[in-house]
Chains A and B, each alone.
Chain A
Amino acid sequence: MADTPEEIKKAQKKYLLIGLILFVFTVVTVAVATVPWLDFGEHGFDARDATIGLVIATIKAGLVGAIFMHLSHEKKTIYVLIVIGILMGISLMGLTGWAFDDPIEYGNSVERDGFFNPEVKAEQH
């Protein structure tokens, strides 16, 4: 870790560079989502656009973590903490997977019953 004043002085250039890269990546994300000739996959938003957006976001997050948060050279204790945190976070997301076997069913919604539509209601009864 950059700890002595000399090292820190040197590291500042790196921080600026990373900041710049993050700016550029942000512009790229927006361009991919808005500029027609950069539209990958189908016309409009689709899985490919989502993947590109999330990959860029992950790279950006990685850069922030590695450089700004000094994770590229940290002590073991902290890696353990982060790995546990991330694993728990991912397993929380994984919990959503249960729903694939047990999806939400809306049953007869208020609209379909015509509760808010007196005409439909009159027809039904």
Chain B
Amino acid sequence: MEIPYTVTARKDTGLFNAKVGIWLFLASEVMLFGGLFSAYVFLRIYADYPWPERALPIVPGLINTFVLIGSSVTVVFAWASLKMRQWRRFQIFMAITIGCAAVFMVLKTIEYKAKWGHQAVRMDDFTIIEGHAHYATILSDGKVERFHTKKEAKKAGEKDAEVANKAAAAAKGKDEESGGSGKADLWKAGKPFKANVLLFKPETIDFSLVRAHESWVNAMLEQTGKRNSKLITAEDIFLYGDIEDYSGTKSDPRSSKERAQKEAEMVKEYATAEEKRGHKFGGNSLFIPAGTPLSYALLEKARKVFVAGRAHNAETRTAILRENWKSVRRDLPDDKYWDQAPEAKIDPAIQLVEQLDAEGNCTAGSKVVSLVSTLSFRMDPPQPIIIKRSWIKRPVKGQDGRAELRDDTSLNAGDGEGGASGLLESPLVLSVDAIDFRWMAQKAEEAGNDPMEVIEQSWIFSKANKKGSTYKKIWKVHKKRIAELEQHLIDKYGKDEEGKPRRVATETDRYRVSWQDFVHYARAEHDRLMPGDSGFDDLRPKFWNGFAGPNHKDEEIHKLHAFPELEIPHHKVSLQSMFTPKWNTYYAIYFTLTGLHGLHVVGGALVLGYYLFFSKGLYRSNPEWLANRVEIGGLFWHFVDLVWIFLFPILYLM
């Protein structure tokens, strides 16, 4: 098909068609990004927490700005080269443009990775703590060890597995000699995990039939298997979907409790007989013998029976209620039905019907079945299970002996006979590279308190914190430095007529100890300098240090021990997250805006790459058409650059 107006202009618009097309598209893009920028403004104005201004490392953003501007120039040159029919020159400029796109994406990846690997904690007193989470591994004896790095944790885990398996092999030899089976399960070294999880050693786990979350169930199963343990039902379980299966059996004990017991026995008999005959336990009921291993499929099957049982109960209750109404109308014919409405309670009605039933005077028919809404599994032998903090419903304390997950799964400690089960000590351990009291200060001011006083009573400086004195020392230096900064601002800018300083330290200066501050103070401590000493300020890291944030692997930082450790008891944590959209609305909009922009970069580079690698033929046959195509691709590319021109100052500098 001949595409019209690819080279020549249409008379009415004076343009070749594609140009109108790309501008229409760009107009819609303006609206798309306009909407997102307005979301940014909205979130920032109405944030109920101190907005993290100037929180991102500038250097990668700055380089990316240069890269995009440079590529905008080269893409124009590529187009100009085509116009002048210089194919070789076009190739060079286009290649540089695509190279720039690649550099941009690499830098973006580095930035994103730094965010995803950076731990953030909000404590219950609104202290914000940032840092690198330590790693931990579970050893063969069920103990948990913590390490600074993933590598160390992995190594320790592997070494422990080796030792454990050697010992097991020796035991196996002995066992075989004495005529045993020689069976010994090999211990597989566990994967190291971040020390920001909960460790719980359950004796039993109860899963909710309606809410159990498949991936969590599977995660627990996988962990159990890895630690040579099993999750099995502790006792026989019967689930009745409805009563039809055994309602035909006649039994006439007067008390309903006895009757229920008797019926349960009969069902068990029936079920066992059916199982023996190789039949599945029929109808809408399910028999799970003791020792059945957990699987999500089993929970699903049980859920179906449970749901059927609930539906049966609903029907039965309706029937019973109807029966009750009949009797009400029979006994009190003169009353208006609404007079009786408060009396028409289901439970008394059920009791009534059961009583009538026992006397043989009821026509309501079937009976409400008792529903089992959870399945209980025993962990044999108990082993620690890693639970993500985001799974739990509320903080668990050691003495609770029970951890409840958001899907209503409950992990239960035993009675303590079989050794320590329950919550294992699982503090959140990290090397701290920033402490932020801005939110706490805001809360203190809202309550009419002096922020500084409140801050000094925070948990991190308290005796409850093992490292409290370290942080107290850092805070002391920080306070002194801020006093020095305030004095400096007064000296430089003076005071106004009312005697107030013209310029004061910002909230961020005052209440946030940044990673640069940590390094600064560690260097100063090393050189035995304090604020006010000459040379103190020279030890401050420059703004181009720490390319994409604090570098915990830096030799100097390591040597100075600039990022001290901290163990936060898990019930003190009110929110923990990596620097992802979950952490706060700032990171949510940051990832939305930069992510969408990054996709535009990738898309634009693909189009430009197509021109570079697959358009030689078109150049030979119709070079003007190719030039027009490159102009269109270039227009899109400039737009991507234009969006970044706004994104950079807004996200990195404001």
Q: How far is the CB of B472 from chain A (nearest CB, A)?
A: 23
B13-21, B247-255, B264-272, B342-350 - interface stretch: B13-21
A69: CB under 8 A from chain B? yes
Cβ 8 A contact of B80, one of A12, A42, A64:
A12
Are B638 and A30 touching (Cβ within 8 A)? no
In angstroms, Cα B43 to Cα A103, docked, is 11
Contacts A29-B653, A49-B654, A81-B20: A60 and B66 contacting too (C-beta < 8 A)?
Answer: no
Are B34 and A30 touching (Cβ within 8 A)? no
Are A99 and B574 touching (Cβ within 8 A)? no
Q: How far is the CB of A104 from chain B (nearest CB, A)?
A: 5
In angstroms, Cα B509 to Cα A8, docked, is 52
Cβ 8 A contact of B653, one of A9, A18, A30, A65:
A30
Contacts A64-B72, A64-B641, A93-B34: A118 and B503 contacting too (C-beta < 8 A)?
Answer: no
Chain B residue total in the interface (Cβ 8 A)? 67
Are B30 and A86 touching (Cβ within 8 A)? yes
In angstroms, Cα B70 to Cα A64, docked, is 12
Are A61 and B34 touching (Cβ within 8 A)? no
In angstroms, Cα B638 to Cα A60, docked, is 12
Are A44 and B509 touching (Cβ within 8 A)? yes
Are A78 and B649 touching (Cβ within 8 A)? no
In angstroms, Cα B83 to Cα A45, docked, is 46
In angstroms, Cα B269 to Cα A115, docked, is 47
Cβ 8 A contact of B72, one of A19, A88, A120:
A19
A77: CB under 8 A from chain B? yes
Within 8 A of B (CB), among A71-125: 75-78, 81-82, 84-86, 88-90, 92-96, 99, 103-104, 106, 111, 115-118, 120
Which residue of chain B has its CB nearest to the CB of A5? B84
Are A53 and B38 touching (Cβ within 8 A)? no
Are B649 and A57 touching (Cβ within 8 A)? yes
Q: How far is the CB of B486 from chain A (nearest CB, A)?
A: 9
B37: CB under 8 A from chain A? yes
Contacts A44-B506, A45-B53, A92-B35: A81 and B27 contacting too (C-beta < 8 A)?
Answer: yes
Are B503 and A42 touching (Cβ within 8 A)? yes
B42: CB under 8 A from chain A? yes
Q: Chain B 504-522, CB within 8 Å of chain A: the 1/0 string? A: 1110110000000000000
Q: Chain A 18-37, CB within 8 Å of chain B: the 1/0 string? A: 11001100100110011000
Chain B residues within 8 Å of A, Cβ to Cβ: 13-15, 19-20, 23-24, 26-28, 30-31, 33-35, 37-38, 41-42, 45-46, 48, 53-54, 58, 62, 65-66, 69-70, 72-73, 76-77, 80, 83-85, 124, 126, 394-395, 397, 489, 503-506, 508-509, 543, 571, 574-575, 634-635, 638-639, 641-642, 645-646, 648-650, 653-654
Q: With A29-B649, A85-B27 given, name 11 new contacts (CB 8 A).
A: A3-B83, A18-B73, A26-B65, A45-B506, A49-B653, A53-B649, A53-B653, A54-B646, A89-B35, A96-B45, A120-B124
